Amino acid sequence: MGPLSPARTLRLWGPRSLGVALGVFMTIGFLLLDAPHLLPGPQLRQPLAPSLRPALPSCPPRQRLVFLKTHKSGSSSVLSLLHRYGDRHGLRFALPARYQFGYPRLFQASRVKGYSPQTGGTQLPFHILCHHMRFNLKEVLQVMPSDSFFFSIVRDPAALARSAFSYYKSTSSAFRKSPSLAAFLANPRAFYRPGARGDHYARNLLWFDFGLPFPPEKRAKRGNLHPPRDPDPRQLQVLPSGAGPRAQTLNPNALIHPVSTVADHRSQISSPASFDLGSSSFIQWGLAWLDSVFDLVMVAEYFDESLVLLADALCWGLDDVVGFMHNAQAGRKQDLSTFSNTGLTVEDQQLTARARAWNNLDWALYVHFNRSLWARIEKYGQRRLQTAVAELRARREALAKHCLAGGEASDPKYITDHRFRPFQFGSAKVLGYILRSGLSPQDQEECERLATPELQYKDKLDAKQFPPTVSLPLKTSRPLSP
């Protein structure tokens, strides 16, 4: 084994063990933050072919991938493209026995179907690890090579909270007890008990999924029991609008204490709605650790921009990443996740601010990766990105018109073919797709790939990788001797 790079060395340390020696590593975290970015810059390719037909590759496509599938963040749409790519190229997936790797427990290599530590390298290697897990690097590296491409996706915690509340209403005890998300966020302590069943869905779900440790919570000081003031909305207007990169305008206070600046709202920092889940250095340490592990973190609000960067980093064509939205709940207002408050009611604005404050670790994660994404876009080139995003969208629209009845997603009650009906869970309907009739056999196959929901696709890959063994009766030409 050759010398380990700093990034590789950090990868090999699990966040939980590092959590124990936090004091020491916080210092390292600070040093890392001051150091130049640890990751290589994006691999630049030749401009993508306008037709989206695969251009002659200028670099070998990367096919060893670890995707951390975070919850309620657009991750099923990413999974769909990984399933399709792996299926088309005959890649081997590291699959769970059912649909998740022992979640919410930390990932264990032993949960991977067909993994056997005893075979000492004789087993066929895996290419893609991508189903729901709570990330645990040490165990992931038992299954996947350390030079795999590690990536994930984050979403604005306010949009994520709306999605999670309706989806996990009956799963999380905190959500179950609460009549509405607004009621929950107005007084989360009345409902939320850390460690209670399913309550990881109710607070800092991204931080949890990334496998980061949680610091012990500080209680509100005595004599400071007045209700929290609403977060200062100016502190939350720090992210770029859809139009461009404004990461530089991020207020560092927002990264550390999303609720307030120390100067003007000192009392809020220990208020019930903004319990200080750890110091700024703890958060910075966690973010530096993630930077050292993950090659790319996509942002759901900039999904298409993220896809273009993903295709570039993997040396894939745009056709490899174009796909339909999966796992969307019917009737949900996606635009509530936008960063500008225009068009939002006062209640919506308040809910957004409270959700970000309650999920303060996720907000820090989100702000951090939003900034990295836009730094990456700068390097890639804004114009070039806009052109690629426009091509991607045009291609998606053309595929939707060609493949789908009505050219769009359908209410599940109309989806009678069980191969395309998405798993229904939570209080809202999950939309799916109906294929147009009369497609050519070749188009039918490709459209099926695009429309197949994640559970059915996982079953299909499972059956392909582990064909059922039929035990045939032993044929003998002569009678067996006794």
Ligand X SMILES: Nc1ncnc2c1ncn2[C@@H]1O[C@H](COP(=O)(O)OS(=O)(=O)O)[C@@H](OP(=O)(O)O)[C@H]1O
Strand ranges in 10-156 using DSSP code E only, listed in sequence order: 65-68, 93-94, 128-129, 149-154
Own/partner pairs, 343-351, CB within 8 angstroms, 24+ separation: 347/182, 349/233, 350/230, 351/158, 351/162, 351/181, 351/182, 351/185
Question: Between residues 140 and 164, which has the closer beta carbon with respect to ligand X?
Answer: 164
Task: Indicate the DSSP class of residue 39.
Answer: S
Question: Between residues 230 and 304, which has the closer beta carbon with respect to ligand X?
Answer: 304
What is the smallest separation between the CB atom of 301 and ligand X, expressed in angstroms?
Answer: 7
Question: Between residues 289 and 303, which has the closer beta carbon with respect to ligand X?
Answer: 303
Alpha-carbon dihedral sign for residues 189, 193, 198, 203: positive
Q: Tell me which residue of 164, 141, 177, 194 sits closest to 13, measured CA to CA.
A: 141
Q: Which helix (H) or strand (E) segment is 388 a member of?
A: helix 382-403
Residue corresponding to tokens 């500080």 = 218
Cα(74)–Cα(164) distance, rounded to whole angstroms? 12
In the complex, the residues that contact ligand X under the rule CB under 6 A are: 71-77, 163, 300, 303, 325, 327-329, 332
Q: For ligand X, which residue has the nearest CB?
A: 76
What is the smallest separation between the CB atom of 329 and ligand X, expressed in angstroms?
Answer: 4
Asked whether 282 and 276 are in contact (CB, 8 A), the reply is no
Question: Between residues 112 and 300, which has the closer beta carbon with respect to ligand X?
Answer: 300
Strand ranges in 1-148 using DSSP code E only, listed in sequence order: 65-68, 93-94, 128-129
Residue 327, C-beta contacts closer than 8 angstroms, at least 6 positions apart: 76, 77, 422, 430, 453, 454
What is the smallest separation between the CB atom of 399 and ligand X, expressed in angstroms?
Answer: 14
* Token pair listed for 350: 């308040």
Question: Between residues 76 and 274, which has the closer beta carbon with respect to ligand X?
Answer: 76
Q: Tell me which residue of 228, 183, 174, 230 sits closest to 203, measured CA to CA.
A: 174
DSSP 419-466: TTPPPP-SSSPBPB--BPSS--HHHHHHHHHHH--HHHHHHHHHHHHS
Neighbours of 170 (CB within 10 A): 12
Asked whether 145 and 11 are in contact (CB, 8 A), the reply is no
What is the smallest separation between the CB atom of 79 and ligand X, expressed in angstroms?
Answer: 7
Question: Between residues 71 and 83, which has the closer beta carbon with respect to ligand X?
Answer: 71
What is the smallest separation between the CB atom of 76 and ligand X, expressed in angstroms?
Answer: 3
Cα(297)–Cα(68) distance, rounded to whole angstroms? 9
Cα(68)–Cα(291) distance, rounded to whole angstroms? 14
Question: Between residues 106 and 328, which has the closer beta carbon with respect to ligand X?
Answer: 328
* Token pair listed for 373: 């994404």
Beta-bridge partner residues of 93? 128
Asked whether 363 and 203 are in contact (CB, 8 A), the reply is no
Question: Between residues 329 and 452, which has the closer beta carbon with respect to ligand X?
Answer: 329
Question: Between residues 258 and 453, which has the closer beta carbon with respect to ligand X?
Answer: 453
Question: Between residues 328 and 434, which has the closer beta carbon with respect to ligand X?
Answer: 328
Question: Between residues 127 and 131, which has the closer beta carbon with respect to ligand X?
Answer: 131
Alpha-carbon dihedral sign for residues 178, 181, 183, 189: positive
Question: Between residues 100 and 251, which has the closer beta carbon with respect to ligand X?
Answer: 100
What is the smallest separation between the CB atom of 441 and ligand X, expressed in angstroms?
Answer: 28
Residue corresponding to tokens 């994520």 = 160
What is the smallest separation between the CB atom of 71 and ligand X, expressed in angstroms?
Answer: 4
